[in-house]
Amino acid sequence: MSVKPVSASGLFAGLFALGTLSAADGPAFPALVDREGQVLDLRGALADPALTMRGLLEEWPAVLPRLRELAAETGPDRRPLSDFRVLAPVEPRQVFQSGANYRQHVIDLHVAHRAPGDERPEEERRAEAAEIMDRRAAEDLPYVFIGLPSSVTGPYDDVTLPAWAEKPDWELELAAVIGRPAYQVSVEEALEYVAGYTIANDLTDRATVFRRDMPQIGTDWLRSKNAPGFTPLGPWIVPAESVGDTRDLRLTLKLNGEVMQDESTEDMIFGVARMVAYASRSAQLLPGDLVLTGSPAGNGMHWGRLLRDGDVMESAITGLGTQRTRCVAEGKA
């Protein structure tokens, strides 16, 4: 099931955003959406009937000036957004995910997961966690791992909670969308490789994060994060030039109307440029790839309240719009 936004007006920064849409049961297509909620099919506008969002991003430096021109134009080839279904804005080839990248979030988790026999007061354990975070920042050690593109779903689609997922949790994240191949790029030049930004909710089953059969193995991100639909994405890709400085964007997630996460990217340990540069040390980032930058404080583990059948999550980031997804227990979808 999918719902449609009423309008795009006022929901994103700048004059336009990019999305992947479809009409009824028609094929998906890349679209330019203006602030009045009018849609331009970029297949016709750019004279490429087979164009996809990923194909558009592969030509990003060359096509961006033309997109600016199209955003300033009007004409009968525009249709209202309400005529279309909004899909995930891009199908990435690679998803780079970041762990433990919001200082307060990691401190909260450190306190919540008290080791057996650790009877120290909370204040002391918080101080210990803060020292660990400060050391990580000083030693310049981001934590990046790989997610599966098959977990990506649309920004208004239902999210199926698998029967095996005992503790499904939310994780609102700022996602950078790559617009140029990037390999071993410096922090100083890393943002030149970012086409734009979008919203990701990186769902995690907390019960399967750690391997119970062999604790020495550590984390099991395949099992805990990559179920189909566990990464609602979008609604839009907002060009980086419209978003500007990403060091003070507000991330807000509401669960059934109640605010659970409400934090600034200012709390990041490593910023977007550092995450992109670090990922590019080992892997080549490709146009359309996603670099998720971690989730702030306020996850379900913090509140002692995990996702259930019927829950509705509403996620927003400054300048990027809002996604709204409903949780459905497996077998009820």
| Full set of structural domains in the chain with CATH | 16-87 (no CATH), 95-329 (3.90.850.10)
Residue 286 in this model has a pLDDT that exceeds 90: yes
Rounded Cα gap, residues 19 and 91, in angstroms: 11
pLDDT grade, residue 100 (50/70/90)? confident
> Measured between alpha carbons, how far is 95 from 149 in angstroms, rounded to an integer?
6
Of 165, 303, 150, 322, residue with least CA distance to 236: 322
Q: Is the pLDDT of residue 3 over 60?
A: no
Instruction: Give percent of the chain above pLDDT 70.
Output: 95
145-199 per-position pLDDT tens digit: 999 999 999 999 999 999 999 999 999 999 999 999 999 999 999 999 999 999 9
pLDDT of residue 115: 62
The tens digit of pLDDT for each residue in 205-227 reads 999 888 888 877 888 889 899 99
Number of Cβ within 10 Å of residue 248's Cβ equals 11
pLDDT at 135: 84
Whether the per-residue pLDDT at 229 is higher than 50: the answer is yes
Quote the crossing angle between the two packed helices 103-112 and 122-139, to the nearest 10°: 140
Q: What single-letter amino acid sits at 3?
A: V
Asked if residue 63 has pLDDT above 80, the reply is: yes
Question: Within a 10 A sphere around the Cβ of 333, how many other Cβ atoms?
Answer: 13
pLDDT at 116: 63
Q: Which residues contact 121 (CB under 8 A, 6 or more apart)?
A: none
In the sheet that holds 38-41, the strands lie side by side as 78-80, 38-41, 29-34, 16-22, 85-87
- Whole-number pLDDT of residue 113: 62
Nearest to 91 by CA among 113, 63, 115, 58: 58
Q: What is the pLDDT of residues 257-281, one digit of tens each?
A: 999 999 999 999 999 999 999 999 9
Smallest CA-to-CA distance from 272 within 189, 163, 160 is with 189
Q: Give start and end residues of each alpha helix (H) in the chain.
A: 42-45, 53-58, 60-72, 103-112, 122-139, 187-190, 221-225, 240-243, 272-282, 300-303
